Structure 1
Amino acid sequence: MTRPALQLIFDRTGRAAGVELDDAALVELYRYPDDGRRRLRSNFVSSLDGSVQGADGRSGGLGTASDQHVFALHRALADAVVVGASTARAEGYRAVDLQPWQRDLRASLGLAPFPALVVVTGSARLDPVMATPAEGDGGPVVVLTTTGKPDADLDPLREAGIEVREEGEELDLGAALDRLAGEGRPRLLCEGGPGLHRALLAAGLVDELSLTLAPVVVGGEGMRSTSGPGLGTALPFDLSFALHGADGALFTSYRSPTTVDDGQRPV
């Protein structure tokens, strides 16, 4: 896999700074533990002035080549990509397809050929086209919603091959994620949006926050990585490691101090 150079500039475990990481070292840095415990990592790219949206209103407008590679690596290492419905609509989410190097990496780690796409939605008003990947083969799609939705909204999704889970009158995110983990999908990756991210943080479900700083300023009124009411008490996170991309992107990984420390990443 061809990518811009990535240099380790901080590691809480004491690894020497200034080291350029090869592919194997980068995988080791980002891979999930193999202990079967549920772990949720969120991944966002932000401009220097705090926007998670580029000039085109989409997060992809901020990504450098190195960010695109790390984004792809996150997906290659996850069992499920979790996303809110608004972001799925805005960003045109489809069943997750992968490049050959991602599939080879998953095979070497004993993972399923593709991660599932898990869409969290209150309305269940989604385009059934998301059941199919943009090209080639792709993973399954699961929709998490509440009970009481009209068949006119749910039937087209099910007919397209999407698994629709009505989780009750209120969606308990922790219980829903536990069920995914119990089904063999403990490595969870949240890619947004800000409303879902805030809900996951408020519920104490985010184990690791992976934030990329793109070397640009965009102005405007772009969204942050969270939206909604304040959390009341600021949630602390500890810097785990930081990388610098040759194209100017800065990669940071922050972990929740409440997450079990088992000597592996993310902890």
Structure 2
Amino acid sequence: MLLSVAMSVDGYIDDTAPQRLLLSNAQDFDRVDQVRADADAIMVGAATLRADNPRLIVKDQDRQDRRRAAGRDTQPLKVTVTASGDLDPAARFWHHGTEQHRPLVYTTAAGAARLGERLAGLAEVVALGTEVDFGALLDDLGGRGIGRLMVEGGSHLHTAFLSEGLADELHLAIGPALVGDPDAPRFLEPAGFPGGSTRRMRLLDVARLGDVAVLRYLPKETES
């Protein structure tokens, strides 16, 4: 399972303006599209759905065709997570790239009760108990044949997967911008992470895409 995020030099993933802050560039967007095409499923959190209203699809037609030629669905399965069940059935997430499979929604028992009628026919809702258990979530996806999951945010999901030691790979695209707004969302929320602040993750690769630097880390491994 890999985490994918674009952030500013000072660690923010957005600002507080109504429009989404584009921290990446065209070359990096194309890279992300390829990572999506390689994935079996793509996940975003409910806050990202509400803020960005993404379609969350593989955009390039050639990549869709290659998936089809390999016997795969043209689009990866789409997944979201919400504890409260506060999701808009009119969001683009439910209506693009869903011809072959409905999106999955992982939630709590209370969230499932709220979403039952709201997302009827649009998504499969999976209740994980009184709280969202991310280990159980990954087990359920594995049971559905999902071998490669791409998580695109937001802060709560990235923090949960890293703090629980569940992420295998981290793709960190750093855009040449400074946000500096304490009310803006950051890449990670305060948490206790495995190994603490002195642990050094293994750096797998560094790439330059125009004015964006892309770092690939292996969170479960350490530099030797």
Q: Provide closer, same or farther for how the CA distance between residues 63 and 179 of structure 1 changes in structure 2, counting only shifts above 3 A.
A: same
Task: State the AA in 1 paired with 2:116.
Answer: L
Q: What residue identity is the alignment partner of 2:185?
A: M
What's the counterpart of residue 34 of structure 2?
73
Instruction: Give the SS at the match of 1:216.
Output: coil
Once the two structures are TM-superposed, the CA of residue 171 in structure 1 deviates from its matched residue by 2.1
- The aligned residue for residue 207 of structure 2 is 243
Q: Given residue 249 of structure 1, which amino acid in structure 2 is its aligned partner?
A: V
- Structure 2 SS opposite 1:241: strand
The match for 1:177 is: 138
Task: For 1:50 and 1:255, locate their aligned partners in 2 and report how far apart those are by CA, in whole Å.
Answer: 19
- Whether 1:106 aligns to 2:70 is no
Q: Alpha-carbon deviation of 1:128?
A: 1.4
Q: Secondary structure at the match of 2:37?
A: helix
Per-residue CA deviations over 1:94-123 (Å, capped at 9, x if unaligned) read: 463533022023235543221111111101
Figure out how many residues of one structure are paired with residues of the other and give that number. 217
Give the Cα–Cα distance (whole angstroms) in 2 for the partners of residues 217 and 138 of structure 1: 40
Aligned partners of 2:112 and 2:127 also within 8 Å = no
Specify whether residues 74 and 239 from structure 1 end up closer, same or farther in structure 2 by C-alpha distance, changes over 3 A only: same
Q: Unpaired segments of 5 or more residues in structure 2?
A: none
Cross-structure match for 1:148:
110
Q: What TM-score do you get using the length of structure 2 for normalisation?
A: 0.85
Which residue identity does 2:201 align to in structure 1?
F
RMSD: 2.5
Q: Give runs of ≥4 in structure 1 deviating > 4 Å.
A: 57-60, 135-139
CA–CA separation in structure 1 for the residues paired with 2:11 and 2:18: 14
Matched residue, 1:26 = none
**In structure 1, how many angstroms separate the alpha carbons of the residues matched to 2:56 and 2:11?**
29
Residue 161 and residue 207 in structure 1: after superposition, are their counterparts in 2 closer, same or farther (change >3 A)?
Answer: same
Determine the structure 2 residue equivalent to 1:256.
219
Q: Which runs of 5+ in 1 are unaligned?
A: 1-39, 260-267
Larger radius of gyration: 1
Cα pair distance change 1:55/1:175, threshold 3 Å: closer
Question: Percent of aligned positions with the same letter in both sequences?
Answer: 31
Q: Structure 2 counterpart of 1:225, which letter?
A: F
The secondary structure found in structure 2 opposite 1:63 is: coil
Matched, 1:119 2:119: no
